[in-house]
Amino acid sequence: MKKEISRALSLTENQVALLYSHSYLNILNILADDLASLAGSFGNADAFSGSRRMAGRIKNAFDDTSFPLLSSHHIQDLHNLVEQEIASEIRDFADAEKNRDAIDETINNIRSLFRILHNLVRMHTHQKIAPEMWKSLKISDIKSNLEEMLRAIENNSRGRYRIVGNQADQKENDYLFTFTVESPDKETIVMPTILQDCLRDLIANSRKYTKPGGQISALLANDGEKLVLEVRDNGIGIPEQDIDMVVHFGYRGKNAGDRTRGGGFGLTKACYVTQKMNGRMWIDSLPGKGTAITLEIPVPAETQEDV
């Protein structure tokens, strides 16, 4: 059932701040899992207690409308503390070789998560000044950032599934993910930088509501007149009576079950950003068949071309 979402969202200032923090919350949830897993690998349930408390304070601070400015130093402080606690645990670990592979893998994933967080800080600091500015972005950078996010999600599954890009490599519990970018020069694409957030959030949503073994695809296209962002999956779908409602702040579809981590604001944010830029949004979904989210935004006559 395909519907255009035409009703304007009504959000408070704090709700808007939470929408902009959605990508942070997703990554911080994965980080919390990795820190708990790493503590288990070291055989010390109390390990990283300082880091975990600080991460909790950062998450709680995101309902403040000034969150991008707060997060710039909070994320760096958290990163520094995690590295200090990792060094301390390694130094005090009695059996240096025990669980070494698992420890190294989790540490690498934690460092990857911080690269994502630092990128978000830089992007959101810019967006705080000019959230709707269009820029020419390297397609290779967009793909690289997405790949890093997907690797972090995959690693967080602890081997329950992989995320692969080639159908020939897909096994029973693997997600098949494909990403297509269309632009005139095929090397850059002009878009508002905030749409990278929407792209990540919608892909993460699709993964969450699609069982392992499913398929997810994403499209980003600029033909000079309109920018199209589309994410499709063959997941659980959305009941027809919920389609108009799922974009509203805090609302979840009746069949969403207990998949509650990350805030649940991805569709709200996509709708808010699209409406703010005079665009259109469609949701095409059938229970048991999957969902397609399409955003279409007019390209302004003048855009910032610097990469």
CB 19 within 8 A of CB 62: no
Give me the pLDDT at residue 281, please: 98
Give me the pLDDT at residue 262, please: 44
Structure tokens at 164: 């692969």
Give, for all 307 residues of the chain, the pLDDT tens digit: 899 999 999 898 888 878 877 788 888 988 999 999 999 999 898 999 999 999 988 887 765 555 545 557 888 999 999 999 999 998 888 675 777 888 998 999 999 999 989 888 877 665 555 657 898 999 999 999 999 999 989 988 989 999 999 999 999 999 999 999 999 999 999 999 889 989 999 999 999 999 999 999 999 999 999 999 999 999 999 999 999 999 998 876 655 654 444 456 889 999 999 999 999 999 999 999 999 999 999 999 876 454 4
CB 281 within 8 A of CB 247: yes
Assigned CATH for 2-298: 3.30.565.10
Give me the pLDDT at residue 306, please: 47
Computed on alpha carbons and rounded to an integer, the radius of gyration of the chain in Å comes to 20
d(CA 148, CA 145): 5
d(CA 36, CA 101): 16
Match 């609302």 to its residue by tokens: 251
Q: Which residues of 138-175 are buried (b: 16+ CB within 10 A; e: fewer)?
A: ebeebeebbeebbbbbbbbeeeebbbbeeeeebeeebb
Q: How far apart are the first and last CA of the chain?
A: 39
d(CA 174, CA 164): 7
Structure tokens at 31: 């980080």
DSSP element (H, E) containing 28: helix 22-41
Residue of 243, 249, 248, 225 whose CA lies nearest to 291: 243
CB under 8 Å, gap of 24 or more: what pairs does 65-72 form? 65/13, 65/14, 65/16, 65/17, 66/17, 67/17, 67/20, 67/21, 67/24, 68/20, 68/121, 68/124, 68/125, 68/127, 68/128, 69/125, 69/128, 71/21, 71/24, 71/120, 71/121, 71/124, 72/121, 72/125
- Would you tell me how many other CB atoms lie within 10 Å of the CB of residue 123? 17
Give me the pLDDT at residue 240, please: 93
How many CA atoms, within 13 angstroms, populate the side-chain half-sphere of residue 265?
A: 23
Alpha helices for 66-213 (secondary structure H): 67-92, 100-129, 139-156, 194-208
d(CA 230, CA 203): 10
Tell me the C-alpha to C-alpha distance, in Å, between residue 216 and each of 108, 117, 163, 199, 293. 26, 24, 10, 12, 12
Match 């207690």 to its residue by tokens: 49
